[in-house]
Structure 1
Amino acid sequence: MVSERLVIDALGAKGDGIGRGANGMAFVPFALPGEILRVEREGNRAEIVDIEVPSTERREPPCPHFGACGGCDLQHASEELYRAFKRDVVVEAFRREGVEAEIGELVPCPPASRRRAVFSAVRADTRILFGFHEAASNRISEIDTCLVATPQIVKRLAFFKKLAALLIDRKRELRMTVTETLSGLDISVDDAAKLTPALRQAAVKLALDPAIARLSVSGETIVEARPPQITIDGLPVLLPPGAFLQAVASAEDAMARVALGHLAGLKTVADLFCGVGAFALRMARTQAVHAVEFDAPALAALDQARRGVAGLKPVTLERRDLMRRPVTAKELEKFAGVLFDPPRAGAEAQCHELAKSKVRRIAAVSCNPTTLARDAAILVAGGYRLISVTPIDQFLWSHHVEAVALFER
């Protein structure tokens, strides 16, 4: 490690301060623009030893785990700087792709609103470490509170650790996805120890806690006291074990409000990468929807949900790997509008087909501004006009930002 004095010039895309010193450029976690720091660096990574001149935008982080837990890396920034940073991440992504875009203001996210959280656990000698990864590390930071998760999740942290200690494998990290539903907590555990009869019995006994709706281990349902249910725009949906769900309900509502407003009035729409139907079910109130998804349990949940509601417009379902086999321009001829919400890798192959299509309007929802901007460039090159991009905060105090981009021919 080399000791050095740095002046921080800007924030990088992952929230690190970027500065230059005698040994060149360095990335410094938890630093802010305008600060003068004494750091210890190794290569282009550095750690703060002393803040000689703090930024006027620096604030006291509200969480006791800040700096150790890697979940929230921007709690030390003022609200104004934080919001500007997240919007600038989207602005810079589109700038790099050479796509002109009207970037809106960030739609905010309240604390204590994350209904879905993914925890990790490892064995350290005789101890079990349970919590979130440290920033840029495989190490796990133990937590006893969380300011972004819902109160029902936070109050059960000790229970989750006890369950992790029971199910953990001796040689690998355990992952635990917890979702708050209307029926109680849905817990899905992956990379667990092999379920022997004795271990299964112990897990069943522990999961009979009245707050737990379901416990699944490696995709197998161990206990289901009540089917985990959520609502999408007031419509009931039963979640499959470990199903993807937008982490914050208000963020999902914001995405839907922007995207569906753009597609309103079109008679036929396709929802690509539809999941359990966060957008498809909303659109089906007024539009015929073709929903495409590769995950069979998610598609089955959507099918069950739409069958249980009277008065919806027709919803057709298709299981398809859109990464390998995108819907072709020919197949897209029957749709006036398309919404797509892909994984972080984006929808490059699908956008090449959309660029050749005659679809009138497109709404793109993304958790990765970089791949969204790349996909937008493909659509613009194919003749679409990018109307607007709306940044949406879903992972409070982190560098992650969602966005919805709207296109038309």
Structure 2
Amino acid sequence: MAEQVTIKRLGAKGDGIAEGGSGPVFVPKVLPGETVTIERDGSHARLVSVDVASPERETPFCPYFDECGGCATQHMKHGFYQAWKHDTLVHTLRQARIEAPIEPLIDAHGDGRRRVTLHVRFPDRAMHVGFMAPRSHQIVEIAFCPIAEPGLKEQAPAIARAVGEHLKGPRKPLDIQITATQTGFDVDVRGYGPLKDPDRLRLIDLAANLDLSRLSIHGDVIVERRPPAVVMGRAAVVPPAGSFLQATKLGEETLAGFVTEACARAKRVADLFAGTGPFSLRLAEKADVHAVEFDKGSMVALDKAVRATPGLRRVTTEARDLFRRPLLTPELNAFDAVVLDPPRVGAEAQVKQLAVSKVPLVVSVSCDGATFARDAAILIGSGYRLERVIPVDQFKHSPHLEVVGILRRDVVKKRR
């Protein structure tokens, strides 16, 4: 049944919140002060119409915005959007009882997302290719994605559809990750399972027809026609198939700029949760670096990039699960600075070791404000000062936000 409500405020995920008789109701793609008609589904609702619009509303630039779950904020005017993202981070830190100066939001969208993951599903006789609708497994079919890099905008859906056609026999749900690299598109398919030899041969032919740099299934490389290189500082890295990569080129460059600036005086740096080395490779231009990452393939890729790049200082690598085996205090004390860039769950175990160490500088890079605040609070409680908090918006048009925090403390050197 449809009903009319007034939106009171926005939540951290960008949904509007209206007060209902049985509690708050979350409505997507609305703004505070708007009167809207909705259809409830428990504590969530489907937007039927905007009856009284906010002056901060604008027309979304993507024709799929109303149905697609990929973007959440295209209906917000730019100034309102930036203020909302900034204020959300302020609120998150205050909840953790952290008072620190938060710098203006930095737009790091650049040319757009350099990686997209499209879904191929077979709910009926037809094949459906696109993104998922909000809070649903229903596929919204798309011909292009306007927030992707120019080369990916239209080609990514076409590539996903071609791969789906080749693998549609078992009608398994497929997730197709497509990354733009210096040498072409790198495609990794998830969900299919082991391939038979005829399937492999057909995919090798498809990769040639589509001029892909690399094609893999669950990280198993079917064919690599050209190494899919990604430039990081002076180096060119060939990441393992399907491995982590910052969302945009400008986002990576912006984050790395703050990391290297903070560590400018450090002679020895530990880069923890290092991935394939977007920070390590840039830090190594002036400092010795020890890079630690759970994924062995990423460490091999980083090591190869270091060996192929002249002029870098010493870089050592270690494949290690920092959630189960964080670097301990004696190991940490060998470094002038520690850089953290953990997954969304944060780095609580590692931060607890840092809290009792003598490391004078910690640079925390996080894609989740809540876990950033939790980890920063632990370090602040042990004597670190949170000198800078820098929000970096590389996930534009979504509620996600990168945060860079620079924490220092005085370390008294023992006299000899």
Mark yes or no: TM-score above 0.5: yes
Shift of 1:168: 4.5
Residue 179 of structure 2 corresponds to 179
CA contact (8 A) 1:7 1:21 kept: no
Shift of 1:167: 2.1
**SS of residue paired to 1:330:** helix
Residue 33 of structure 2 corresponds to 34
Shift of 1:121: 1.3
Residue 374 of structure 2 corresponds to 374
**SS of residue paired to 1:259:** helix
**SS of residue paired to 2:127:** strand
Residue 406 of structure 1 corresponds to 406
Distance 1:169 1:36 in 2: 48
> Is 1:333 aligned with 2:355?
no
> Is 1:132 aligned with 2:141?
no
**SS of residue paired to 1:209:** helix
- What TM-score do you get using the length of structure 2 for normalisation? 0.95
CA contact (8 A) 1:168 1:192 kept: no
Residue 90 of structure 1 corresponds to 89
**SS of residue paired to 1:30:** coil
Equivalent position amino acid for 2:362 in 1 = I
Q: Which runs of 5+ in 2 are unaligned?
A: 410-416
1:330-385 per-position Cα deviation (integer Å, ceiling 9, x unaligned): 21110010001001111000000001111011101111111111111111111111
Write out aligned runs for 1:5-404 (5 A).
Answer: 5-110=4-109, 112-156=111-155, 157-168=157-168, 170=170, 172-209=172-209, 211-404=211-404
CA contact (8 A) 1:363 1:404 kept: yes
Q: Which runs of 5+ in 1 are unaligned?
A: none
Shift of 1:140: 1.8
CA contact (8 A) 2:110 2:250 kept: no
Equivalent position amino acid for 1:401 in 2 = L
**SS of residue paired to 2:122:** strand
CA contact (8 A) 1:366 1:372 kept: yes
Distance 1:281 1:194 in 2: 35
**SS of residue paired to 1:342:** coil
Distance 1:378 1:6 in 2: 41
**SS of residue paired to 2:278:** coil
Equivalent position amino acid for 1:42 in 2 = D
Distance 1:143 1:38 in 2: 27
**SS of residue paired to 2:333:** helix
Q: How many residue pairs get matched?
A: 408
User: Residues 266 and 34 of structure 1: is their aligned pair in 2 closer, same or farther, counting only changes over 3 Å?
Assistant: same
Query: How much is the aligned-residue C-alpha RMSD, in angstroms?
Result: 1.5
User: Residues 110 and 292 of structure 1: is their aligned pair in 2 closer, same or farther, counting only changes over 3 Å?
Assistant: closer
Distance 1:198 1:240 in 2: 25
Shift of 1:170: 3.8
- What TM-score do you get using the length of structure 1 for normalisation? 0.96
CA contact (8 A) 2:110 2:248 kept: no
Equivalent position amino acid for 1:292 in 2 = V
